[in-house]
Structure 1
Amino acid sequence: MRPVRHERALSPDLSVAALNARYEGAPAEDILHAGLRFWAGGIAVVSSFGADAAVLLHMAAGINPHVPVLFVDTKMLFPQTLEYQARLAADLGLTDVRRIGVARSELRRADPMGALHLRDADACCQLRKVAPLAQAMTLFQASITGRKRHQAATRADMAVFETDPAGRIRINPLAGWSAQDLADYRDRHDLPPHPLVAEGYPSLGCVPCTSRVQPGEDPRAGRWRGQSKTECGIHFGPKGAERIAQ
């Protein structure tokens, strides 16, 4: 269900199309500020605390350090990612990072040997990422992601504002940013990098499904290497197309 209360506060006809017409090409900070203002109290940032996460989280903390940040812990993340999450949240002063994940009782039932990813990677992502995030998002009317169009072909036509399958607004303030834009922002604000980036992991997910990327390879080549799978599926577009991997 769309956040009607906030739409009426701004405009009698605040549609996704109207939002995109208004904010396409706008500075990321303006887009983020608009989302946090329009859906105040009903919006969350979704973050993997991965290679590029610091940029969006730094922007969000500068506007409202108390905004809920949803971090999906699959129980298969790199230890360095968990350490980075704690450090970055503390450095930025984020006060409401919510570490969510599948219940251990459900893991024991659906993946008792921790090997589901070997026979069905999509089912593993559904169990460990998609379902927990969907449950957490029932408390919110809108979400904010750090996706960028340059990251993958599946994201090339991504809009700044979208409607997800549940009818919530999804906002992508960094949609138009390049890799250089991200690097410049990190340098300008002296943001700490994820420790595994320097070790050849420009895109990070779960340990079993993430490998090092060799020079000249696509930055996402290390995700589900050797499979046709390129996205985890935690954010789907209005027509069911996959849009994001965390």
Structure 2
Amino acid sequence: MPLDAHALVAARAATLNADLVGSGPQAMLDRTLRDARLGDIALVSSFGAESVVLLHMVAQVDRATPILFLETGMLFAETLAYQRQVADDLGLTDIRVIRPDNTDLFLHDPEGDLHGRDPDTCCAIRKTKPLELALQEFDGWITGRKRHQTEDRADLVPFEVEVGKLRINPLADWTPADIAAHIDAHDLPRHPLVAQGFASLGCAPCTTKVAPGEDPRAGRWRGRQKTECGIHFAGGRVWPTAPRG
């Protein structure tokens, strides 16, 4: 992206952060989805443990907002059913199911066991690459990231720039208590696996239950140093090449 174009997006992010400080996530989404100057915006949603809050807020502004859902081929059956339920309950009309490239799966994960051998590459071909390709037609995207989730997110701001696009984090300063209160206040459906002890949900092979008092993300890639799948990191990645025979 030309420097002047990147500077324009950065200036818009700074203006939005200043204008909307303390305004709350619903006001941020109203501005984001109604301001034509910001271009085409999508919401990236996992339809996980806390996703219904942001989906509900977006539905209050525009039910036709594009929702990008990464169907990695390894999600819990409950997540797939929940995605359909929530979309129907909220009247969301533009759910775009994003899947990994079949050639990448054939070349790098023909047996479906890459997650155990090389989880970073597995996430790259099943999540990061498909999402980056899907986002090419958009000027920005909305995420459900929150400061309390990981150390990498501790300094999260509501509006930022990622690979030349606007990235919006309306729930940056929300806590688990805020999430629960919103779900209760609006009688929103909870992901069925939350009641079974899953506090943060990803692909089934890489997600476990958490014990009472344990960090909610402790069940993601348990036993590894890995804490992120990579979809929220800066661009410039090198994708895996075809294995040598």
Structure 2 length-normalised TM: 0.90
User: For structure 2, which runs of at least 5 residues remain unmatched after alignment?
Assistant: 238-245
**Matches of 1:168 and 1:93 in 2, distance apart?**
27
Structure 2 SS opposite 1:57? helix
- In structure 1, what is the equivalent of residue 125 of structure 2? 127
- 1:239 Cα offset (Å): 10
- In structure 2, what is the equivalent of residue 56 of structure 1? 54
**Count of matched residue positions in the alignment of Structure 1 and Structure 2:** 234
- In structure 2, what is the equivalent of residue 233 of structure 1? 230
* Aligned residue among 193, 198, 206 for 2:195: 198
Pairs within 5 Å for 1:7-46: 14-39=11-36, 42-46=40-44
Q: Which amino acid aligns with 1:22?
A: D
Contact 2:10 2:161 in 1 (8 A): no
User: For structure 1, which runs of at least 5 residues remain unmatched after alignment?
Assistant: 241-246
Structure 2 CA distance for partners of 1:237 and 1:149, relative to 1, 3 Å: farther
**Matches of 2:66 and 2:197 in 1, distance apart?**
30
Structure 2 CA distance for partners of 1:41 and 1:93, relative to 1, 3 Å: farther
1:81-128 deviation digits (Å, cap 9, x = unpaired): 000000000000000000001122331122100111111110000000
Structure 2 SS opposite 1:51? coil
* Aligned residue among 82, 88, 113 for 1:90: 88
* Aligned residue among 204, 209, 225 for 2:206: 209
Contact 2:39 2:140 in 1 (8 A): no
Residue 183 of structure 2 corresponds to residue 179 of structure 1: no
**Matches of 2:21 and 2:220 in 1, distance apart?**
29
Residue 74 of structure 2 corresponds to residue 76 of structure 1: yes
**Matches of 1:93 and 1:41 in 2, distance apart?**
23
Pairs within 5 Å for 1:90-169: 90-165=88-163, 167-169=164-166
- 1:24 Cα offset (Å): 2.6
**Matches of 1:31 and 1:14 in 2, distance apart?**
16
Contact 1:50 1:194 in 2 (8 A): yes
**Matches of 1:200 and 1:56 in 2, distance apart?**
22
- 1:14 Cα offset (Å): 4.4
- 1:20 Cα offset (Å): 1.3
Structure 2 SS opposite 1:36? helix
**Matches of 2:24 and 2:181 in 1, distance apart?**
15
1:35-65 deviation digits (Å, cap 9, x = unpaired): 1112576110000000000000001011100
**Matches of 1:169 and 1:27 in 2, distance apart?**
18
Contact 1:162 1:237 in 2 (8 A): no
**Matches of 2:116 and 2:130 in 1, distance apart?**
20
Q: Which amino acid aligns with 1:219?
A: P
Q: Which amino acid aligns with 1:62?
A: Q
Contact 1:43 1:142 in 2 (8 A): yes
Comparing 80-89 and 17-26, the one that deviates more: 17-26
Structure 1 length-normalised TM: 0.89
- 1:238 Cα offset (Å): 8.1
Q: What CA RMSD, in Å, does the superposition of the two structures yield over aligned residues?
A: 2.3
- In structure 1, what is the equivalent of residue 242 of structure 2? none
Structure 2 SS opposite 1:58? helix
- 1:152 Cα offset (Å): 1.5
Comparing 86-95 and 12-21, the one that deviates more: 12-21
